[in-house]
Amino acid sequence: MKLSHIPGAALALGLAIPGLSQTHDHNSQKEKVSETKPNAKPEAAEACTPEHAAMGHCTPKEPAHSAAGKHHEAGAVKQSDKASPPDDPDCPPEHAAMGHCTPKKPIAASQANGTATGTDLPAGNAPAPEAPEVNYADKVWGKEAMAPVRANMYNEHGGMISSMFLLDLAAARFRDGEDGYQWDAEAWLGGDLNRIVIKSEGESYSDEEVEEAEVQAIYSRAIGPYFDFQAGVRHDVRPEPSRTYLALGFEGLAPYWTEVEGTLFISDEGDLFARFEGRYDQLITQKFVLETGGEINLSAQDVEDEAIGSGLVDAEFSLRLRYEIEREIAPYFGVSWKSTFGETASLARANGEGKDHSSLLVGLRLWM
162-216 tens-digit pLDDT: 999 999 999 999 987 778 999 999 999 998 899 999 999 999 887 678 889 999 9
Percent of the chain with pLDDT over 90: 46
pLDDT of amino acid 364: 96
Q: What range defines the domain where residue 318 resides? A: 215-367
Q: Please say if the pLDDT value at position 142 is more than 70.
A: yes
pLDDT at position 71: 46
308 secondary structure, DSSP code: B
Structural domain contains residue 247: yes
- How does residue 64 score in pLDDT terms, banded at 50, 70 and 90? very low
Report the percentage of the chain scoring pLDDT > 70.
Answer: 72
- Positive or negative, the CA dihedral 112, 118, 123, 127 is positive
Residue 236 counted as domain residue: yes
- Is the pLDDT confidence value at 137 over 80? yes
Residue 269 belongs to some domain of the structure: yes
- Give one word for 364, left, alpha or beta, with left for phi > 0 and alpha for psi -120 to 50: beta
Region of poorest pLDDT, from 22-36, 235-249, 341-355: 22-36
- Residue at 237 is within a domain: yes
Q: What is the pLDDT of residue 351?
A: 81
Q: What is the pLDDT of residue 305?
A: 84
In a domain, 98, yes or no: no
Query: Cα(78)–Cα(61) distance, rounded to whole angstroms?
Result: 24
Angle at 245 between CA 241 and CA 249, to 5 degrees: 145
- pLDDT tens per residue, range 27-51: 444 444 444 444 444 444 456 776 6
Q: Are 314 and 304 in contact (CB under 8 A)?
A: no
pLDDT given at position 292 = 97
Terminal-to-terminal C-alpha distance of the chain:
131
Q: Which of 299, 314, 298 is nearest to 269 (CA)?
A: 299
Inside any domain, residue 102 = no
Q: Is residue 113 part of a domain?
A: no
pLDDT category at 117 given cuts 50, 70, 90 is: low
Highest mean pLDDT among 78-82, 108-112, 130-134, 241-245 belongs to 241-245
Q: Which residues are bridge partners to 323 per DSSP? A: 288
CATH of the domain at 351: 2.40.160.40
* DSSP codes, 171-185: EEEE-TT--EEEEEE
What pLDDT score does 357 carry? 86
State the total domains in the chain. 1
pLDDT of residue 312: 96
Q: What are phi and psi of 345, to 5 degrees?
A: -65, -40
For residue 160, pLDDT over 80 is answered with yes
Instruction: Please determine, for residue 113, whether its predicted confidence score (pLDDT) is greater than 70.
Output: no
**Averaged pLDDT for residues 103-131:** 65
- Among 11-25, 215-229, 354-368, top mean pLDDT goes to 215-229
pLDDT of residue 32: 45
pLDDT at position 152: 87
Q: Between these two residues, 252 and 127, which has the higher pLDDT value?
A: 252
Residue 306 lies in a domain: yes
Give residue-wise pLDDT tens across range 67-81.
444 444 444 444 444
